[in-house]
Amino acid sequence: MSEKSLAGRKALVTGGARGIGAAIAQALARAGASIMIADILEEAGNATATTIAKEGITTGFAQLDVTDDAQWERAVAKTVGTLGGYDILINNAGIEITSLISEVKAEDARRMCDVNIVGTVLGMKHAFRAMRPGGPAGKGGAVVNIASVAATIAFPAIAVYSGTKSAVDRMTRIGAMEAGKLGFGVRVNCIYPGLIPTDMGMQLANDIVKVGLAADVNAAVGSVVEQTPLGRLAEVTDIGNAAVFLCSEEARFITGVGLPVDGGMGM
Ligand SMILES: NC(=O)c1ccc[n+]([C@@H]2O[C@H](COP(=O)([O-])OP(=O)(O)OC[C@H]3O[C@@H](n4cnc5c(N)ncnc54)[C@H](O)[C@@H]3O)[C@@H](O)[C@H]2O)c1
């Protein structure tokens, strides 16, 4: 793949303040894209944007709760205004609240559905409207939804989370179908990351201990590594590299797929 495979592209990354989102934003920037970080965390989001800007990349921060339609409209308008266009959406914001099914709380289940499912579909909605012919950006583009290896395996204590990620997977296919058939010029794909020791990943490892499925955090992480043919956890840069590829011209005939980046855990 060429060094600057995303030169001139304009990307919005949700949940871009930290973790996987921040790493994807950095990878896209290294590949030449300008970046709008969108998150509920204003301070961390601005800090990530500032770090990227130091590399001479045009960046900005947009306050965005992905569950809110009106905030999406403002974030997309800010992206088009600040970056001078919009042709990449990374739908990365997500939450995970660990629970055995026998203990699940309705409010936690609803919150995960709201952020992970409603948030993702609203992202696609506003991307399609902006990127399709006649839209304020109007040049087509690429959407990458961040699902999870959890959509492809049965891992205990994350039933609802896994269900929301299976929904992201299915919505990716339908997004790709609609955008293709309607001539929007937008490709839609998703990535299934394996476990990564971000804030979310480490919280999950701790919660697995709390619900009695592992003796300690090392055992929880060790059992994931054991189930992974490549023998390690995923790293945020692994996901960033995959996102760059899916957004690039090299992937121009790829739409409606889910790409596992999980060291083989989900095969
Ligand atoms: N860490 C893992 O092991 C792992 C594995 C597979 C998939 N994922 C997925 O990758 C994505 C990123 O995960 P992470 O590990 O970086 O998590 P994280 O908790 O470290 O970061 C998530 C980011 O999303 C933001 N966010 C949360 N709710 C939001 C909302 N309503 N609106 C806007 N932003 C919001 C947070 O503020 C944070 O910046 C998630 O979709 C997650 O489900 C993570």
Residuewise pLDDT in 10s, the chain (267 residues): 557 999 999 999 999 999 999 999 999 999 999 999 999 999 999 999 999 999 999 999 999 999 999 999 999 999 999 999 999 999 999 999 999 999 999 999 999 999 999 999 999 999 999 999 999 999 999 999 999 999 999 999 999 999 999 999 999 999 999 999 999 999 999 999 999 999 999 999 999 999 999 999 999 999 999 999 999 999 999 999 999 999 999 999 999 999 999 999 999
Largest CA distance in the chain: 57
What pLDDT does residue 2 have? 54
The predicted-structure confidence for 83-93, as pLDDT tens digits, reads as follows 999 999 999 99
Q: Which residues are catalytic?
A: 161
Closest ligand 1 atom to Cα of 116: 41
What is the distance between the alpha carbons of residues 122 and 127, in angstroms, rounded to a whole number?
8
Q: Is 65 in the pocket of ligand 1 (CB under 6 A)?
A: yes
Looking at ligand 1, which atom is closest to the CA of residue 234? 3
**Predicted local confidence at residue 91, as pLDDT:** 98
238 lines ligand 1 (CB under 6 A): no
Cβ of residue 148 lying under 6 Å from some atom of ligand 1: yes
Distance CA 91, CA 167 (A): 13
Q: Which atom of ligand 1 is nearest to the CA of 233?
A: 3
124 burial level (CB within 10 Å; 0-12, 13-18, 19+): buried
Domain with CATH 3.40.50.720 in the chain: 10-194+235-259
C-alpha distances in angstroms, 33 versus 141, 175, 196, 205? Answer: 12, 23, 24, 34
CB-ligand 1 contact for 19 (6 Å cutoff) = yes
Q: Is the dihedral of CA 214, 216, 219, 225 positive or negative?
A: positive
Distance 184 CA to ligand 1 centre (A): 28
pLDDT tens digits, residue range 163-202? 999 999 999 999 999 999 999 999 999 999 999 999 999 9
* Pair 159, 142: CB distance under 8 Å: no
Tell me the best of 43, 76, 95, 122 to mutate to test the pocket of ligand 1, counting ligand atoms within 8 Å of each CB and taking the most.
Answer: 95
Distance in angstroms (rounded) separating the CA atoms of residues 255 and 75: 25
> Residue of the nearest CA to atom 21 in ligand 1?
19
Pocket probe mutation, ligand 1, options 20, 149, 161, max atoms within 8 Å of Cβ: 20
**Rounded Cα gap, residues 99 and 208, in angstroms:** 9
Place of tokens 């950006």: 137
Query: What is the fold of 10-194+235-259?
Result: Rossmann fold (3.40.50)
